């Protein structure tokens, strides 16, 4: 079935490559009974994909149960999932079927599966491997025929390393992985989604729809959207209700975007929590510049010492030493201007000797020059491929595109 038809049926909006790929995988895996693990940040719309898989499977006429594992208290999660017998614990006044028993022949969706306690994870692993489970307070083994689809928004590998998630359960659930990309990686879909939400809320509250001007649309795209589609929908509803002017400017939109004024520059990625990293590329470049400055100072000191201690041509060396000393004494803190490098030429005055020329360059320490140089090198290294260059620089492809236009590197 075509991806576009699936979008129309389930109300999915967007044409991003990552989104289309996720839908395609969901449709392909639906006819099988394989377990599926859906990953992605909170608010990207993971809950739609289990419904797609269920509706295009042979189980579509069976039960579909969605369970938010993070919303059920640890003391009752086993009872909710696997049921309990009468008197098995305080308050168990009657026997009760669990979700796995009730969904037999259908599909069960375990949202936020990484929040399950380790003891419950053991029970879930048994269901996945053998289809067997035991009610709380019972010793009788029961069978169930249910397909399990799970989802999580956390880094499962990290949870495994911390001992919070069983590795064997992860591999059993992750038979077919589906990744839902965040909204910031679906730039072409942001304005489309906002228009859809604005129209829906206009109908709901019986008022004209919000319209964004060009600058507001550009601001909408440049924002990081940490809350993804859920945040975008929430902001569209706020604006629809609060703003009386239906033509929205960038200045007005700016008030509804939390953290928009903070500088979002690339940061070093490091898995070790106890290792301090720099928060932005500005800090990284400053550290590089300070290190280079110290190296240059050390080098100049070394040259001065060598010239002062020389035996032959003492007079010439002494003159050169005085010149370099003066140069060294004139060194000021980091100069961020883009003044072209100066060249100082030292010549032997003795005509009987071959002319000896040294060149000392004052390197430009402008932050923008260094940033432009790094971008040029990354693009040259990867043959102009912006995606690979962005990965090399540790920034997003959108940020790299903006920098290329800013420095006119096209």
Q: pLDDT tens across 175-212, in order?
A: 999 999 999 999 999 999 999 999 999 999 999 999 99
Domain(s) of CATH 3.40.50.300: residues in the chain: 3-181
Between the alpha carbon of residue 377 and those of residues 120, 381, 385, 393, 404, the distances in Å are 52, 6, 12, 10, 12
Flag whether the pTM goes above 0.85: no
The confidence score (pLDDT) of residue 295 equals: 72
Residues of each domain in the chain carrying CATH 1.10.10: 367-406
* CATH 1.10.8.60 intervals, the chain: 184-254
Q: Which CATH architecture has domain 367-406?
A: Orthogonal Bundle (1.10)
Task: Read off the pLDDT band of 363 (50, 70, 90).
Answer: low
Per-residue model confidence (pLDDT) at position 278: 43
Render pLDDT for 257-270 as a digit per residue (tens, 0 to 9).
987 754 444 444 44
Contact (CB, 8 A) for 42 and 180 = no
pLDDT at 366: 66
Q: What pLDDT score does 263 carry?
A: 40
pLDDT, greater one: 296 or 158: 158
The CATH class for the domain spanning 184-254 reads mainly alpha
Q: Are 328 and 304 in contact (CB under 8 A)?
A: yes
pLDDT in tens, 317-331: 565 566 556 555 555
| Residue 383 bridge partners (DSSP) | none
> In this predicted model, which residue has the larger pLDDT, 298 or 385?
385
pLDDT-derived band at 169 (thresholds 50, 70, 90) equals: very high
Confidence class for position 390, pLDDT limits 50, 70, 90: confident
Please tell me the predicted confidence (pLDDT) of residue 281: 59
| CATH H-level superfamily of 3-181 | P-loop containing nucleotide triphosphate hydrolases (3.40.50.300)
């Amino acid at each position: 079935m075509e991806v576009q038809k699936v979008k129309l049926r389930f109300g999915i909006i967007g044409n991003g490559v990552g989104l289309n790929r996720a839908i395609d995988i969901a449709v392909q895996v639906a006819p099988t009974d394989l377990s599926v693990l859906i990953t992605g940040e909170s608010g990207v719309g993971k809950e739609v994909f289990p419904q797609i898989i269920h509706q295009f499977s042979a189980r579509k006429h069976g039960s579909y149960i969605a369970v938010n594992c993070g919303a059920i208290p640890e003391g009752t999660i086993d009872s909710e999932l696997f049921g309990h017998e009468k008197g098995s614990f305080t308050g168990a006044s009657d026997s009760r079927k669990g979700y796995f028993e009730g969904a037999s022949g259908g599909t069960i969706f375990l949202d936020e599966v990484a929040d399950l306690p380790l003891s419950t994870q053991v029970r879930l692993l048994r269901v996945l491997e053998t289809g067997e489970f035991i009610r709380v307070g019972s010793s009788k083994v029961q069978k169930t025929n249910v397909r399990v689809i799970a989802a999580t928004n956390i880094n499962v590998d990290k949870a495994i390393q911390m001992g919070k998630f069983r590795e064997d359960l992860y591999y059993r659930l992750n038979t077919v992985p589906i990744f839902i990309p965040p909204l910031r990686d679906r730039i072409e879909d942001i304005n489309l989604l906002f228009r859809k939400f604005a129209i829906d809320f206009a109908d709901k509250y019986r008022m004209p729809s919000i319209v964004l001007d060009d600058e507001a649309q550009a601001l909408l795209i440049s924002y990081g959207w940490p809350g993804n589609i859920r945040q975008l929908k929430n902001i569209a509803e706020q604006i629809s209700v609060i703003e009386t002017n239906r033509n929205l400017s960038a200045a007005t939109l700016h008030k509804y975007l939390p953290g928009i004024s903070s500088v979002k520059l690339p940061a070093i990625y490091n898995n070790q929590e106890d290792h301090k990293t720099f928060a932005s590329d500005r800090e990284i470049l400053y550290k590089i510049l300070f290190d280079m400055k110290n190296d240059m100072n050390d080098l100049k000191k070394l040259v001065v010492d060598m010239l002062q201690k020389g035996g032959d041509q003492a007079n010439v060396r002494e003159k050169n030493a005085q010149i370099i000393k003066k140069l060294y004494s004139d060194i000021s803190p980091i100069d961020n201007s883009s003044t072209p490098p100066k060249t100082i030429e030292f010549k032997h005055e003795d005509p009987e000797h071959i002319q000896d020329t040294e060149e000392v360059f004052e390197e430009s320490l402008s932050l923008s020059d260094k940033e432009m140089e790094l971008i040029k090198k990354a693009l040259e290294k990867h043959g102009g491929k912006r995606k690979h260059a962005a990965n090399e620089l540790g920034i997003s492809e959108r940020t790299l595109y903006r920098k290329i236009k800013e420095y006119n590197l096209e």
